[in-house]
Structure 1
Amino acid sequence: MPEAIEYLLYALLIGAGATAVMDLWAAARAWLFDSPSLDYALVGRWLVWLTRGRFRHNPIAASLPVPGERLIGWVAHYLIGIVFAAVLLAIWGPDWARHPTLGPALIVGIGSVAAPFLIMQPGMGAGIAASRTPQPAAARLRSLVTHGVFGLGLYAAGWITSLLEL
């Protein structure tokens, strides 16, 4: 198999798998702790408004809904997970996918929290690192844990993918 195709296939499988692990964690957290998950319709709304030239909302929930926002948000959520898996493979190489280790997965997973802290939350009206939310410290901790779980998901998906021997 050509290396570029192998790289893309690994990124797709590992990124989608890790994102699914993160979603399972969010569902478990919601059930166990009565903690609401991110509404991906709002992510889709923000992304559509972004294409129309509007980055910042105050808050995004007050902005006009757009057709297909839920689907757009969920697709973007999985595509972003795939991009972070591609970053992992770009840094540590496709050999990581053949012999995954926990350290690189956690570095990328936890490091990925920079995206919501510095881009999405400010753009959606929550401020840098959730500074404009009612409980910023709790929101930050939830984000860090969730992205740590994404890192564990990268490792788990990498391990499962390595069994496929692509």
Structure 2
Amino acid sequence: MFEITRTHTRNYVAALWAGFLGGNISSFVKWGTENPMPPRTPDRAIPPAEMLQDMGFKVNEMIYHYSGHIVNWGVAGIHHLFSIGFAMFYCLVAEVFPAIKLWQGAAFAILVTLGFHGVMLPLFHWAPPLWQLPFDELLSETLGHILWMWTIEIVRRDIRNRITKKPDPEYQ
């Protein structure tokens, strides 16, 4: 289960590139899950907005207009950067510890959900504790994170295999 790959089979450049691409694409997948299944009740602020405000940013001024809509680029940017950062981390770790790919990344997605929504967000008072969240929010975030990470895994595998012309390190 906790197998480590052989050093000569790893390709960190391919992993970083796959993570960058997968993080960008999967960010839109995560946003896409939030349209049919909003992740929080309308009376609560979006955690990235709370985070930016705590860091001294004027979140309500971080906007642009697109097709008659007001879009908050600060909140969108935080989500997007987190997606890229986690995807690059995931892809790098997958080069060494293939167990991170359990259930095509779904296990890692569940850990991210628990880590952020169960620990980080409540710790900084950006969201209520996990046990106080409505079922709808837990479902939206969990399913959204699983689809987000599965997208990263699909991109990771494809990009890595296209670059290296070889299977994943644990199969070499």
One fold, TM greater than 0.5? yes
Structure 2 counterpart of 1:82: 84
Cα pair 2:110 2:145 within 8 Å, conserved: yes
Runs of 5+ consecutive residues of structure 2 not aligned to the other structure: 1-10, 64-71, 165-172
Map of 1:33-72 to 2, 5 A cutoff?
Answer: 35-36=37-38, 42-52=46-56, 65-68=59-62, 70-72=72-74
Could you tell me whether the CA contact under 8 Å between 1:44 and 1:73 is conserved in 2? yes
- The 1:73–1:65 alpha-carbon spacing in structure 2 relative to 1, beyond 3 Å, is closer
- Cα–Cα, structure 1 residues 15 and 94, in superposed 2: closer, same or farther, change >3 Å? farther
The DSSP-based 3-state class of the residue aligned with 1:13 is helix
Which of the pair has more CA radius of gyration? 2
Q: CA deviation at 1:87?
A: 2.3
Q: Deviations over 1:82-122 (max 9, x none)?
A: 121122123221797xxxx6635222222110213322356
Aligned letter for 1:66? N
Structure with more contact order per residue of length (Cα contacts < 8 Å, sep ≥ 6): 2
Q: Match of 2:76, as an amino acid?
A: W
Which one is further off, 77-86 or 65-74? 65-74
TM-score, normalising length: structure 1? 0.64
Q: Is 1:21 aligned to residue 16 of structure 2?
A: no
When residues 154 and 37 of structure 1 are mapped into structure 2, their CA distance, relative to the original with a 3 A threshold, is same
Matched-pair contact (CA < 8 Å) for 2:105–2:146: no
Gaps (5+ residues) in structure 1? Answer: 54-63
In the TM superposition, what is the alpha-carbon distance from 1:68 to its structure 2 partner? 0.5
Deviation, 1:130, is 6.3
Question: How big is the shift at 1:42?
Answer: 3.6
Deviation by residue 1:116-165 (Cα, 9 ceiling, x = unmatched): 3322356465411261x5xx223212221111112221222224424642
Does the CA contact (< 8 Å) of 1:110 and 1:147 recur in 2? yes
Residue aligning to 1:58: none
Aligned-residue Cα RMSD (Å) equals 3.4
- More strand per residue: 1 or 2? 2
Matched to 2:53, the amino acid is: W
User: Residue 73 of structure 1 corresponds to which residue in structure 2?
Assistant: 75
Whichever residue aligns with residue 163 of structure 2, its letter is E
Number of residue pairs matched by the alignment: 141
Measured against aligned partners, the alpha-carbon deviations of 1:23-74 in whole angstroms (never above 9, x if no partner) come to 23333xx1xxxx43569x9445323222139xxxxxxxxxx85310610111
TM-score, with length taken from structure 2: 0.62
Could you say which structure has the higher helix fraction?
1
Provide the rounded CA distance (Å) in 2 between the counterparts of 1:159 and 1:90.
Answer: 12
Give yes or no for the alignment of 1:10 onto 2:41: no
Match of 2:112 in 1: 112
Q: 2:12–2:92: 8 Å Cα contact kept in structure 1?
A: no
